[in-house]
Structures are given as C-alpha cells and as structure tokens.
Amino acid sequence: MAETLYPITLTVNGEAKEAQVEARMLLVHFIREQLGMTGTHIGCDTTNCGACTIILDGRPVKSCTIFAVQANGRAIRTVEGLEKDSVLHAVQNGFHQEHGLQCGFCTPGMIMTSVALLERNAAPTELEIRQAISGNLCRCTGYVNIVKAVQHASAAMREAKQPAAAGRA
C-alpha cells in the first residue's frame, strides 16, 4: 500500500521550498534525497556521529534525529548555504587554513556546529569550542586543528565586524 504523503513548506538556505514527504522520512534523507543536497553526511543515523548536523531555526541539530515533517514551517541551513558569491564562510576558511580536516567526512557537520556556536558566542574559549563540538565525532584529526580552525574563524569574524574607520584614523 502506498504511504500517505504530507505537504511541507520550509526555508532551505534562504529559499522557500515545498515538498511532499512520508511521515517516517528523516530530515537528513529529505535533504539528501529529495533536495539533492549531499553536503550533509550520514555517518551513523543513530544520533551518534554528528555528520548530519544542520542549523534549524538557528540551532545545530542532528538531522537524522528528526523527521522532515517536523521541519514544516521552519528554516534550515546546510553547508551548501555558507559560501556567498564564491567566497567561503569564515568557518570554512578556518578549516582550510588550519588543516581542520583529513578525510572530510565529519567536516560539514563540524562546520555547521561551529557556525551556530560563533553566531551565539563570537569569542568562545577553547573549552566552549570543545563542548560545542562534543556531539561531533572525528576519526582522523584528533580535534586539535578543528579547535584551531574555529578559533581562526572567530578571530576573522570579529575582525570583519570592527568599524572600518578604526583603521583609518
């Protein structure tokens, strides 16, 4: 018997989307299979690894832990939405500059968690960074360069917010 489909509307990286989904469809499967946005990874689909982390209404969420229907009427951001006009987001650049990745599998989730952290806390301590990413597992890096990447991004974002006039006096 065919599954009942439910209509949902949501904002994805600033763009309005409408879709029909089965009640049991996980948000991560909706993002990857229906939207075709495969930057959000699946490492476990049991809420352990954090590879599927996206930002839902401003908060980092493991998208394998919620259903697509629960995103109805809400706004999600994925790693695809970070780059603007071919310029990397400061967090993406931080991971690049500080070698915050090796195989890259955990990276989209790490980056989305870090973006959400820096949006609520522009200057986190090392401990706060480590606490924020504690739900994101990395098998490769040992986390040291990931922490450096977030610190790099934090400094760059704060510098970018300095009034331009300050340097011209």
C-alpha neighbours within 13 Å on the C-beta side of residue 95: 22
Report the residue number, 20 or 131, with the smaller CB distance to ligand FES. 131
Q: Are strands 53-56 and 15-22 parallel, antiparallel or unpaired?
A: unpaired
Q: Where are the alpha helices (DSSP H) in 32-143?
A: 90-97, 107-120, 126-132
Binding of ligand FES by 43 (CB under 6 A): yes
Report the residue number, 7 or 142, with the smaller CB distance to ligand FES. 142
Cα(146)–Cα(149) distance, integer angstroms = 5
Binding of ligand FES by 103 (CB under 6 A): yes
C-alpha angle with apex 49: 63 to 69, nearest 5 degrees? 15
Binding of ligand FES by 47 (CB under 6 A): yes
Task: Give least dist CB 133 to ligand FES, A.
Answer: 11
Which residue of 106, 115, 129, 147 would you call a contact of ligand FES, by CB under 6 A? 106
Site residues for ligand FES per CB under 6 A: 42-45, 47-52, 62, 64, 101-107, 138-141
